[in-house]
């Protein structure tokens, strides 16, 4: 058993082995330690996979040694490597940073179950990214969704429950739409393997069931990815979830649905259905523009800090979809790059919020007034992450903005200029709402609030590591860029 | 016979939309979960309609019998999995409804929103 | 190698100052002065090599294929770097006197961010391509924000918000798209002699791209985007000196000149009809800013509007697109720096000594503060362009360039603005020296602190000195035009 | 004849669905839901899906109704009459229905052998199973071996749901302070003579039938999911009759958790063992020298894992709901 062969399978099997064991552990600290260890192990596997992908090795793994269309196949390419890195990285950093914050928010007796749900969410997300079988993706989507409902429902605030109920309803409808779409395609092509589907769909391409299937899959996955009109569940879910859960979910949960959407659209639909690019662009471009403008506008007037950042996540998803809807190599590179950079920026922002929450109970903007003097390190990390979100040069956000604007300008003509204006307007609004936070923290008087001291060292160290990650990937984004470029060529490669 | 060919799919479409309607319009959380369950069972019906082959029996191969044609086993496997997914989602949903009832004292969506807005 | 050194020295200095600040103030002051001296020495050591025509260049790292952080020293950059590093020493001396005199709080933060701003200025001066220029431009904006909002009270925060708002909006909103458009159109962003856009874009696009650049660089304060400069007057005087004379504004105008010379290319712009509007925009800014300066009562706001006018001198001179005018533009940067820094030091000294800021309070102040007011007079004369001062030299070259291009609009603007300058500076000098003080107006006060007066006299002598020994600067700028 | 019967069942299905949505009283709605599931099971049986019919009956009709009733007992009986904006919803729903019906015309007709579904992957399963795995029930073969990874995912869905319900319902009940309504030893049904006697008679046979379904999976319709559900419903019947305390004495909480975790672990370990013995994950042919025997052994093991987890999970969920009053 030489582990490097089984890497793709181990990525999912390791958390699956850990989950039942963690449930049986009684001591809460032991459960946390086991979860963090497993998460770290999956992070190492993800790194190994990325290294393999970087030097050209393509991972193909047949479950149960049954050949492709008959058994289930796992496939890891550049795009999946990027998303895997974010999922496992976000989970590991959130777990390491978050013991005290979680311990405060979740009762001791319930923690083993909470951490088991966490590991299952991680396994579900990794399972989706690794799998190349349409129905298998549905099953793992269900595992990750159910687990994230449990994580969000762990929130101490009573309002977490209606929020998570709405999240469940929307998530289940999204997953079932996806199931209907896969069923219709299976009905017309007879296979469930995505590669095989792409080949066999050519001769039934323009029949109505396939078009309806494309519609169902796109709407279902857009709903799970909280793309603009279908994002209603996201703000409340992220606001009332425990702080550390928001760090994990904000960094990667919605991006996995986008990953599946792009794989389906660019592998199965793009090349076969006549004019699918036009449908794809005409459907997603306006939605992403609305997402960027309206979500950022709402974020401007938001009073609660976490909901403000949740709305900014909806806007950033708009950027990712905007990049992809250009249906060009440059556009796709920009969108995959932004998937990576946004995960880092948003992850560090929510980590900084978790640091704030160690001492400040309610996270309204008025509550964090003047806290910069007492918590200089936390606010320093938040400013750094905020700059990366805006896209100030030297940070990771800038690189993806740079690629996005060049991709849009390459489009040329009136739409190019209009889209540049939209992107620029979006980042200007980002400047305003990040500066609102900074101004409240640095310049507003402390007032009669109780004295606040700096966050504990553990969570602070992790926040700073991720914040510096923002800088590192701003100055030397070579890893992220090569991965996204090969991902874009793979996605577009299928599309002549 | 020609009409029956599509009848299954029409029933699927109607039951799917009845479930969807219940989820959107109904105010009571348990009724929403019932709607969701109907919504999911409709999908099961669509998959299983696919596997029927004219004059075939269930895909269980007896030793002696050779000239028998069988229905398609694959959709049945998928639906076995999907049923359990449906049950799991419903169970989790109901647990949430119980907790909401204890926290808010009501399981009507408008009462919950009103209570939140007041606090 | 010295390029990297010139970038790193102020940065290490900043860290040194921050650490020294913990122990005691004198150590911190010493570290500041040493860093400033060291920086000036390294930058000036580059001068002979550049004069001999050398163009040392170094590429630090490739961010993304096609875009890298690269540095290249060319005459314009050399001049700006020398100016900035030289004036930093003088400014540090002055700040020590001012800060001590005014008992300002958290001075360590002030000096640290000051050093970081200087390292950003060096980065801009030596930048080899558009991307590096933009990178350090943003660092300069962010590092000067804490300086502008130094006091931290409500009024300062609001105007600091305007300062940052205008600068970040213009840089991300206009400057970044312009840079990316250039990268796409020309395939590269490196500054090369004769410009990289020749033949790549034509027709109205040239004017549009130029507009994006000029209004994108908010620091050059061309009329519509000038609002941040008066708003930044809430900062303490050494910061205003930094803003106006040493780094920030100079970086803006320097970037515009560099982009016009090295990205567009003088003859390409001359051949493009759609680029003429720049000359008229600059001319309008000069006249309008001078008129507004006329009716100002606060001394520092008056100096702010006069800076806006003087900056547009440089922009207009570059827009004349004649070799002599280019030299005039570069020289004017230096002349204005010396003149304006002297005026600011004087305004600061008056504030420290007597807390007077309004013009009508300055009646008869010449007799009480002779050193300060003589320096103020020299500075004012340099602004107007009277012969013994540096201002005359640069205006002479700009006028020569304008005549060579027989651009009557430019000539008329220069003459008109000289009259306006005289109109708002001479009354101050007259009141200061020749009108007796009204009894019992302010408490009687002597000269400003010794350190401040020392800095004043240095810059005043520099203003006159530049009039006499400007051969090296001229030689440097002649290379700018003829390769 | 079958066709008329099929059409009749399908129309009945539509009527029940509409009745559920319109029912005022939630108890009536849940009962109608049980009928809906049974009708669905009957339809599946007509469409030659024996396994799925059994699962739908056991899980759909049995367990879902029990959980719904458990939840109903903790929340409200009737639905508040409120008129929401029906116009918008109605239009969306009708539009989507028309879209779906439009899409049906190009679909292959019911039972059409040339449909693409029957051309590509299915014939391979039907022809290869006798050779490779040699068990009559092809569905269990596909479920257990060809797509075993799916079923592993499925086991973990049940596992997550069970943890989720326990996590949610283990939170302290805020309304707990005022009254402890039911007396400590809940005595199950009050007028209990006849159901108790009949129950005690029925209970052993239910469990026996469950075990039969568990191990008969390879030869006829059956398998882990159905068996787990049947045994769980048996024990739930016992709990309803004898009262929750005795049921917990019979199957204590720790045993339930051990069953849930143990089943999932068993399944994953089978896969990991195959990895160690040289095959890919979940490749049973390496389990023993004769690959066909290895496959059969593998399928039996994972079906046992599935059965244990599903039974443990459903029991844990039921007890979580049942225990909620006097928590």
Q: Looking at residue D171, what is its pLDDT?
A: 80
User: Is residue D327 predicted with pLDDT exceeding 50?
Assistant: no
Contact D257 A63 (CB under 8 A): no
Average pLDDT over residues D260-288: 90
The Cα B80–Cα B84 span in angstroms is 7
User: Is residue D84 predicted with pLDDT exceeding 70?
Assistant: no
The answer, for D260 touching chain A at a CB cutoff of 8 Å, is: yes
Contact D93 B17 (CB under 8 A): yes
A97 CA: distance to closest CA in chain C (Å): 29
Average pLDDT over residues C137-142: 88
In C, minimum Cα distance to A472 occurs at C63
When scoring B94, B97, B103 by the number of chain D Cβ atoms within 10 A, the one with the most, hence best to mutate, is: B94
Spatial contact of C219 and C252, defined as CB atoms under 8 Å apart: yes
Q: Looking at residue A180, what is its pLDDT?
A: 92
Q: Looking at residue A391, what is its pLDDT?
A: 86
* Residues in CB range of C41: below 8 A, 6 or more apart: none
Q: Looking at residue C220, what is its pLDDT?
A: 86
The Cα A480–Cα A477 span in angstroms is 5
User: Is residue C163 predicted with pLDDT exceeding 90?
Assistant: no
Q: Burial letters for A369-406: b for 16+ Cβ neighbours within 10 Å, e otherwise? A: bbbbebbebbbbbbbbbbbbbbbbbbbbbbbbbbbbbb
Q: Please choose, from the candidates D81, A180, D175, the residue with its C-alpha nearest in 3D space to the C-alpha of residue B31.
A: D81
Residues of B in contact with A150 (CB under 8 A): 92
Contact D109 B30 (CB under 8 A): no
Q: Looking at residue D191, what is its pLDDT?
A: 66
What average pLDDT does chain C have?
A: 83
Lowest mean pLDDT among A430-444, D81-95, D183-197, D292-306: D183-197
Q: Which residue has the higher pLDDT, A2 or D70?
A: D70
The answer, for B80 touching chain D at a CB cutoff of 8 Å, is: yes
Give pLDDT tens digits for D288-301: 888 889 999 999 99
Largest CA distance in chain D: 68
Give pLDDT tens digits for A97-115: 888 888 888 888 888 999 9
**Domain residue spans in chain C?**
1-267, 276-483
Q: Looking at residue D314, what is its pLDDT?
A: 93
Give pLDDT tens digits for A17-33: 999 999 988 887 889 99
Spatial contact of A391 and A401, defined as CB atoms under 8 Å apart: yes
Residues of D in contact with A102 (CB under 8 A): none
Q: Looking at residue A34, what is its pLDDT?
A: 93
Spatial contact of C374 and C460, defined as CB atoms under 8 Å apart: yes
Contacts by residues C201-205 (CB-CB < 8 Å, ≥ 24 positions apart): C202/C272, C203/C274, C204/C274, C205/C274
The Cα C118–Cα C115 span in angstroms is 5
Q: Looking at residue D178, what is its pLDDT?
A: 45
User: Is residue C36 predicted with pLDDT exceeding 60?
Assistant: yes
Rounded (5°) CA angle A198-A203-A206: 90
Closest partner CB to A13 (pick from D107, D170, D281) = D281
Instruction: Map tokens 């051969």 to a residue.
Output: C471
Give pLDDT tens digits for D10-38: 899 999 999 998 888 899 999 999 999 99
Q: Looking at residue D188, what is its pLDDT?
A: 53
Q: Looking at residue D82, what is its pLDDT?
A: 67
Q: Dihedral, CA atoms, A337, A341, A343, A349, nearest 10 degrees? A: -160
Residues of A in contact with D116 (CB under 8 A): 187-190, 200, 204
Give pLDDT tens digits for A239-295: 999 999 999 999 888 899 999 999 888 888 776 666 667 777 888 889 999 999 999
Give pLDDT tens digits for C343-375: 888 888 888 888 777 887 778 777 878 888 888
Give pLDDT tens digits for C412-454: 888 888 888 888 888 888 888 887 777 665 566 677 777 788 8
Q: Looking at residue A275, what is its pLDDT?
A: 66
The Cα A102–Cα B19 span in angstroms is 38
User: Is residue A496 predicted with pLDDT exceeding 50?
Assistant: no
Q: Alpha carbon of D87 to those of A426, C191, D95, D100: distances in Å?
A: 35, 64, 12, 20
The answer, for A439 touching chain C at a CB cutoff of 8 Å, is: yes
User: Is residue D190 predicted with pLDDT exceeding 70?
Assistant: no
Contact A164 B78 (CB under 8 A): no
Prediction ipTM score: 0.84
The Cα A289–Cα A295 span in angstroms is 10
The Cα A293–Cα A192 span in angstroms is 38
What's the half-sphere exposure (Cβ side, CA atoms, 13 Å) at C59?
A: 9
Q: Alpha carbon of C209 to those of A237, C193, C276: distances in Å?
A: 44, 19, 13
Q: Alpha carbon of B23 to those of B28, B31, B104, D118: distances in Å?
A: 9, 8, 21, 35
Residues of D in contact with B67 (CB under 8 A): none
- Rg (Cα) of chain A, in Å, rounded? 22
Closest partner CB to A475 (pick from C63, C161, C164) = C63
Contact D261 A21 (CB under 8 A): yes
Average pLDDT over residues C223-231: 84
User: Is residue C1 predicted with pLDDT exceeding 80?
Assistant: no
Average pLDDT over residues C403-409: 84
Give pLDDT tens digits for A203-231: 777 778 888 888 899 999 999 999 888 88
Q: Looking at residue C10, what is its pLDDT?
A: 84
For chain B, which ranges sit under pLDDT 50? Answer: 1
Q: Please choose, from the candidates A110, A178, A179, A177, the residue with its C-alpha nearest in 3D space to the C-alpha of residue A150.
A: A110
Average pLDDT over residues C241-270: 83
Average pLDDT over residues C176-204: 82
Portion 91-110 of B in contact with D at CB < 8 A: 91-92, 94-99, 101-103, 105-108, 110
Average pLDDT over residues A229-238: 90
Contact A168 B93 (CB under 8 A): yes
The Cα C103–Cα C154 span in angstroms is 20
* Residues in CB range of A80: below 8 A, 6 or more apart: A129, A130, A259
The answer, for A481 touching chain C at a CB cutoff of 8 Å, is: yes
Spatial contact of A154 and A245, defined as CB atoms under 8 Å apart: yes
B3 CA: distance to closest CA in chain A (Å): 18
What's the half-sphere exposure (Cβ side, CA atoms, 13 Å) at D211?
A: 5
Domains and CATH numbers, chain B: 2-51+68-118 (1.10.287.3510)
* Residues in CB range of D32: below 8 A, 6 or more apart: D16, D19, D20, D23
Which two structure tokens, joined as six digits, stand for C72? 């290249």
Q: Looking at residue C154, what is its pLDDT?
A: 80
Portion 48-67 of B in contact with D at CB < 8 A: 48-63
Q: Which secondary-structure segment (H or E) carries B11?
A: helix B2-25
Which two structure tokens, joined as six digits, stand for C108? 């360590």
The Cα D291–Cα C434 span in angstroms is 113
How do beta strands A73-76 and A59-62 pair? antiparallel
* Residues in CB range of C267: below 8 A, 6 or more apart: C194, C321
Q: Looking at residue C83, what is its pLDDT?
A: 86
Residues in chain C: 483
Largest CA distance in chain B: 73
Q: Alpha carbon of C371 to those of A5, A164, C448, C458, C460: distances in Å?
A: 83, 73, 9, 11, 10
Spatial contact of C170 and C225, defined as CB atoms under 8 Å apart: yes
Average pLDDT over residues A151-177: 92
User: Is residue A136 predicted with pLDDT exceeding 90?
Assistant: yes
The answer, for A431 touching chain C at a CB cutoff of 8 Å, is: yes
Q: Looking at residue D179, what is its pLDDT?
A: 47
Give pLDDT tens digits for A311-339: 999 999 999 999 988 888 889 999 999 99
Q: Looking at residue C189, what is its pLDDT?
A: 78
**Domain residue spans in chain D?**
1-78, 121-172+186-327
What's the half-sphere exposure (Cβ side, CA atoms, 13 Å) at A441?
A: 25
Q: Looking at residue C272, what is its pLDDT?
A: 79
Q: What is the pTM assigned to this prediction? A: 0.87
Name the phi and psi angles at C71, rounded to 5: -120, 145
When scoring A168, A184, A213 by the number of chain B Cβ atoms within 10 A, the one with the most, hence best to mutate, is: A168
Contact A176 B43 (CB under 8 A): yes
Which two structure tokens, joined as six digits, stand for D2? 């079958």
Spatial contact of C383 and C431, defined as CB atoms under 8 Å apart: no
Identify the chains in contact with B, defined as 3+ C-beta pairs within 8 A. A, D
User: Is residue A152 predicted with pLDDT exceeding 50?
Assistant: yes
Spatial contact of C395 and C267, defined as CB atoms under 8 Å apart: no
Give pLDDT tens digits for D147-188: 899 999 999 999 999 999 999 988 877 655 444 444 444 455
The Cα C27–Cα C31 span in angstroms is 6
Residues of C in contact with A439 (CB under 8 A): 157, 161
């Amino acid at each position: 058993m030489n582990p490097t062969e089984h890497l793709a399978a181990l990525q999912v099997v390791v958390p699956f082995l850990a989950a039942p064991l963690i449930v049986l552990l009684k001591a809460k600290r032991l459960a946390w330690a086991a979860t963090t260890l497993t998460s770290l192990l999956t992070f190492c596997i993800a790194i190994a996979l990325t290294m393999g992908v970087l030097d050209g090795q393509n991972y193909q793994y047949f479950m149960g040694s049954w050949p492709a269309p008959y058994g289930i196949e796992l496939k890891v390419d550049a795009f999946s490597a990027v998303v895997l890195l974010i999922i496992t990285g976000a989970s590991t950093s959130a777990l390491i940073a978050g013991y005290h914050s979680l311990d405060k928010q979740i009762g001791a007796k319930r923690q083993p179950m909470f951490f088991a749900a966490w590991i299952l969410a991680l396994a579900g997300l990794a399972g989706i990214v690794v799998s190349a079988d349409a129905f298998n993706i549905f099953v793992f989507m269900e595992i990750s969704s159910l687990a994230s409902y449990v994580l969000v429902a762990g929130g101490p605030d009573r309002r977490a429950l209606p929020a998570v109920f709405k999240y469940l309803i929307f998530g289940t409808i999204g997953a079932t739409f996806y199931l209907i779409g896969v069923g219709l395609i299976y009905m017309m092509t007879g296979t469930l393997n995505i590669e095989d589907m792409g080949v066999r769909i050519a001769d039934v391409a323009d029949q109505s069931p396939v078009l309806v299937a494309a519609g169902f899959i796109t709407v279902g996955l857009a709903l799970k990815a909280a793309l603009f009109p279908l994002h209603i569940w996201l703000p409340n879910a992220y606001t009332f979830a425990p702080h550390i859960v928001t760090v994990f979910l904000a960094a990667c949960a919605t991006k996995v649905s986008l990953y599946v959407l792009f794989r389906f659209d660019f592998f199965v639909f793009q090349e076969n259905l006549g004019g699918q690019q036009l449908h794809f662009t005409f459907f997603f471009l306006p939605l992403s523009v609305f997402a960027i403008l309206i979500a950022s506008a709402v974020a401007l007037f938001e009073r609660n800090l976490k909901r403000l950042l949740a709305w900014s996540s909806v806007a950033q998803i708009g950027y990712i979809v905007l990049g992809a809807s250009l249906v060009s190599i440059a556009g796709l590179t920009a969108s995959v790059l932004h998937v990576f950079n946004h995960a880092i920026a948003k992850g560090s922002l929510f980590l900084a919020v978790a640091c704030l929450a160690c001492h400040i109970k309610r996270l309204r903007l008025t509550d964090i007034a003047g806290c910069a003097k007492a918590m200089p390190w936390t606010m320093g990390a938040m400013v750094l992450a905020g700059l990366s979100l805006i896209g100030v040069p030297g940070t990771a956000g800038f690189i993806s903005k740079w690629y996005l604007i060049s991709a849009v300008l390459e489009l040329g003509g009136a739409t190019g200029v209009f889209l540049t204006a939209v992107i620029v307007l979006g980042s200007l609004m980002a400047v305003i709402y990040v500066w609102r936070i900074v101004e409240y923290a640095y310049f507003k008087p402390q007032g009669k609030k109780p004295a606040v001291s700096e966050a504990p060292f553990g969570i602070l160290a992790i926040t700073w590591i991720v914040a510096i990650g923002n800088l590192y990937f701003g100055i030397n984004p070579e890893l992220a860029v090569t991965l996204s470029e090969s991902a874009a060529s793979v996605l577009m490669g299928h599309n002549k | 016979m020609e009409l029956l060919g599509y009848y299954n799919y029409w029933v699927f479409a109607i039951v799917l939309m009845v479930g969807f309607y219940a989820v959107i319009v109904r105010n009571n959380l348990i009724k929403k979960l019932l709607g969701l369950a109907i919504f999911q069972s409709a999908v099961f019906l669509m998959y299983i309609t696919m596997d029927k082959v004219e004059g075939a029996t269930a895909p269980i191969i007896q030793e002696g019998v050779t000239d028998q044609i069988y229905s398609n086993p694959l959709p049945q496997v998928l639906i076995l999995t999907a049923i359990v997914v449906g049950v799991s989602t419903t169970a989790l949903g109901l647990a949430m409804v119980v907790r909401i009832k204890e926290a808010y004292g009501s399981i009507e969506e408008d009462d919950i929103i009103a209570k939140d807005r007041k606090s | 190698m010295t390029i990297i050194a010139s970038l790193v020295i102020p940065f290490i200095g900043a860290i040194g100052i921050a650490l020294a600040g913990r122990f005691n103030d004198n150590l911190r002051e010493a570290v500041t002065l040493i860093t400033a001296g060291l920086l000036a020495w390294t930058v000036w050591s580059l001068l002979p090599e550049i004069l001999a025509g050398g163009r040392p260049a170094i590429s630090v790292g490739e961010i993304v294929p096609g875009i890298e952080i690269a540095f290249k020293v060319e005459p314009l950059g050399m001049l700006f770097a020398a100016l900035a590093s030289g004036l930093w020493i003088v400014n540090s001396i002055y700040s020590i006197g001012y800060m001590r005199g005014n008992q300002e709080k958290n001075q360590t933060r002030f000096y640290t961010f000051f050093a970081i701003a200087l390292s950003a200025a060096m980065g801009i001066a030596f930048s080899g391509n558009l991307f590096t220029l933009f990178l350090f431009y943003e660092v300069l904006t962010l590092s000067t924000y804490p300086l502008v909002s130094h006091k931290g009270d409500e009024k300062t925060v609001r105007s600091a918000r305007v300062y940052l708002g205008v600068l970040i909006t213009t840089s991300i909103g206009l400057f970044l798209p312009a840079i990316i458009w250039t990268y796409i159109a020309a395939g590269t962003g490196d500054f090369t002699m004769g410009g990289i856009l020749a033949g790549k874009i034509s027709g109205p696009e040239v004017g549009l791209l130029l507009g994006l650049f000029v209004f994108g660089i908010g620091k050059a304060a061309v009329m519509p985007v000038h609002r941040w400069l008066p708003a930044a007057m809430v900062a303490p005087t050494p910061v205003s000196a930094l803003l106006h004379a040493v780094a920030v504004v100079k970086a803006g105008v320097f970037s515009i000149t560099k982009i016009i010379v090295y990205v567009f290319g003088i003859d390409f712009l001359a051949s493009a009809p759609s680029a003429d509007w720049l000359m008229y925009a600059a001319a309008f800014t000069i006249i309008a800013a001078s008129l507004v300066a006329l009716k100002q009562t606060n001394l520092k706001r008056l100096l702010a509007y006069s800076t806006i006018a003087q900056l547009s001198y440089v922009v207009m001179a570059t827009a004349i697109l004649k070799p002599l005018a280019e030299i005039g533009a570069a020289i004017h940067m230096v002349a204005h720096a010396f003149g304006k820094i002297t005026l600011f030091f004087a305004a600061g000294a008056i504030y420290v000594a007597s807390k007077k800021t309004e013009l009508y309070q300055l009646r008869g102040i010449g007799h009480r503060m002779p050193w300060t007011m003589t320096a103020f007079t020299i500075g004012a004369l340099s602004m107007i362009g009277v012969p013994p001062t540096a201002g005359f030299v640069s205006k002479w070259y700009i006028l020569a360039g304008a005549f060579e291009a027989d651009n009557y609009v430019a000539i008329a603007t220069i003459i008109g603005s000289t009259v306006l300058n005289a109109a708002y500076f001479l009354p101050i000098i007259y009141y200061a020296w020749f009108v007796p003080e009204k009894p019992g107006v302010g408490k009687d006060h002597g000269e400003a602190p010794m350190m401040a007066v020392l800095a004043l006299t240095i810059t005043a002598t520099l203003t006159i000195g530049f009039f006499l020994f400007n051969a090296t600067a001229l030689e440097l700028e002649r290379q700018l035009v003829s390769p | 004849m079958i066709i008329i019967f099929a059409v009749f069942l399908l129309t009945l299905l539509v009527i029940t669905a509409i009745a559920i949505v319109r029912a005022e009283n939630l108890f009536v709605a849940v009962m109608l839901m049980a009928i809906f599931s049974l009708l669905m099971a009957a339809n599946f049986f007509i469409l030659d899906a024996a396994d799925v019919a059994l699962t739908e009956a056991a899980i759909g009709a049995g367990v879902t109704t029990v959980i719904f009733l458990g939840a109903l007992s903790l929340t409200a009986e009737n639905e508040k009459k409120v008129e929401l904006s029906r116009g918008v919803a109605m239009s969306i729903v009708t539009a989507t229905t028309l879209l779906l019906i439009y899409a049906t015309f190009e679909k292959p007709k019911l039972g059409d052998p040339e449909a693409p579904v029957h051309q590509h992957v299915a014939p391979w399963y039907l022809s290869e199973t006798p050779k490779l795995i040699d068990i009559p029930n092809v569905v269990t073969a596909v479920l257990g071996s060809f797509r075993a990874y799916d079923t592993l995912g499925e086991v973990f869905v049940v596992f997550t749901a069970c943890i989720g319900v326990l996590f949610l319902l283990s939170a302290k009940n805020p309304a707990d302070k005022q009254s402890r309504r039911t007396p400590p030893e809940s005595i199950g049904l009050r007028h209990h003579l006849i159901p108790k006697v009949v129950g005690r008679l029925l209970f052993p046979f239910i469990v026996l039938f469950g075990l039969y379904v568990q191990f008969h999976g390879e030869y006829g319709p059956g398998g882990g999911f159905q068996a787990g559900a049947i045994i769980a419903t048996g024990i739930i019947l016992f709990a309803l009759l004898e009262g929750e305390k005795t049921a917990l004495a019979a199957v204590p909480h720790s045993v339930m958790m051990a069953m849930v975790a143990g089943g999932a672990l068993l399944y994953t370990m089978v896969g990991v063992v195959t990895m160690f013995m040289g095959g890919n994950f979940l490749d049973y042919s390496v389990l023993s020298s004769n690959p066909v025997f290895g496959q059969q052994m593998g399928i039996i093991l994972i079906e046992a894992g599935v059965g244990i987890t599903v039974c443990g999970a459903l029991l844990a969920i039921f007890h979580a709901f049942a225990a909620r009053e006097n928590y």
